[in-house]
Amino acid sequence: MTAPALPRQRREAPDGQPKPLQETPGGGSRLRALDGLRLIAALMVALYHYGGRDGDVSRAWGVSPRHEFPTLSGAFAYGCLGVEIFFVISGFVICMSGWGRPLRSFFASRAARLYPAYWAAILLVTVAFALPWVTYKTVSFSDTLVNLTMLQQPVGAQRVLGVCWTLWAELRFYALFALFVVLPGATRRRVVLFCAVWTLATVVTTASHVEFLRVVVMPEYSSYFIGGIGLYLIHRFGHDLLHWGIVAVSFLVGQHYAVAGLWHPPNPHYFSYRSPYVIVAVVALGYAAVAAVALGRLGWMNRRWLTVAGALTYPFYLVHEHLGWVVIGALHRSLRIPSYATLGLTVALMLGLAWLLHRGVERRLTPVLRRSLDPGGPAGRR
């Protein structure tokens, strides 16, 4: 079933707000194209972790990935921008899922979505790194326990999962959106004000160099969440100069932080050189892809198998880095499988593990946790 096209005009609801499209939690079709974009972003990050950087992955290959992928390692280095695309998608999805939902239901849905697969990934990586033939070592027992809360970064504990820094950014976004939008009740005016104040806080925080503000406002990533929210406003309420202005300003500010964080002058001592123009182009493509979903232009991608792709994305994202290194070492160094075949097999095996986590952990524990946290909600009543 294709996504409905945005009508040119919308009837007014009794509260003066335009009637929403029916992709909200209480409404109809799922935007499966977003599931496909999620998986693409996760695969970008995986290519970066496997072949676009030095460090621990070099131990897995036995040499720097530049020697294994002399042609593609430079391209793989841009894969880290999949995180920025994730954040744009997250802004869109969280605004959609939080609209019209009570705070407790919003909290329950987020916690039930994040924690079951995360706990399983913590356990898997800890056990794998404890095996005597694995050269990587896990963190201390105390730090592992802290990691179960997903709050290891603010308390200064070592991370079990390298990718969990992005979850700390997601948690802060959820908290801000819940406090200023979900709790008082989502309206278009309130969401627009939230985006405007957060954008202003972003630039003020950068100029002020106050650490507390930096932790709360997270200026390096806020623009991407704001851009996703603006794109959801376009999706829900149609074309509006104010909505497009939110998206445009968020992109212009966001690309600055992306270039500032990833660009450096050409230097042979660095693993790779990222062109500022390519960085901007990748961020722009991420915005454009989510905008195409918002405008109903990717209805032809609304295929059921993309729901599976979306279900695999989060567990794949959690386990692919550290467990992928173990697999790369076993396939390439122990079994002497060529590098490109090892890369493909590792991605496939991590997707297979993600499917097992989804079927065995998420589908079993997510509904239970959601009902426990929100017994009066739809899941609890069922």
Q: Is the pLDDT of residue 377 over 60?
A: yes
Phi, psi at residue 72, to the nearest 5°? Answer: -100, -15
Question: How far from 233 is each of 106, 190, 192, 238, 289, CA to CA, in Å?
Answer: 19, 11, 9, 7, 16
- The reported pLDDT for the residue numbered 379 is 58
- Give the domain ranges of the chain: 32-381
Q: What is the mean pLDDT of residues 180-190?
A: 97
Write the pLDDT tens digit of every residue in 243-287. 999 999 999 999 999 999 999 888 877 888 899 999 999 999 999
* Amino acid letter, 275: S
Task: Say if residue 26's pLDDT is above 60.
Answer: no
* Average pLDDT value for the chain: 90
Q: What is the pLDDT of residue 378?
A: 66
Contact 46/315 with Cβ under 8 angstroms? no
315-341 pLDDT, tens digit each: 999 999 999 999 999 999 999 999 999
What mean pLDDT do residues 196-223 have?
A: 96
Structure tokens at 96: 């959609």
Quick check: 1 and 29 in contact, CB under 8 A? yes
- Torsions phi, psi for 25 (to 5 deg): -55, -30
CA distance 167 to 306: 23
pTM for the model stands at: 0.90
As to burial, measured by CB atoms within 10 angstroms (0-12 exposed, 13-18 middle, 19+ buried), residue 304 is: exposed
Direct distance between the N- and C-terminal alpha carbons of the chain, in angstroms, rounded to an integer:
26
Among 72-86, 122-136, 164-178, 257-271, which stretch is predicted with the lowest mean pLDDT?
Answer: 257-271
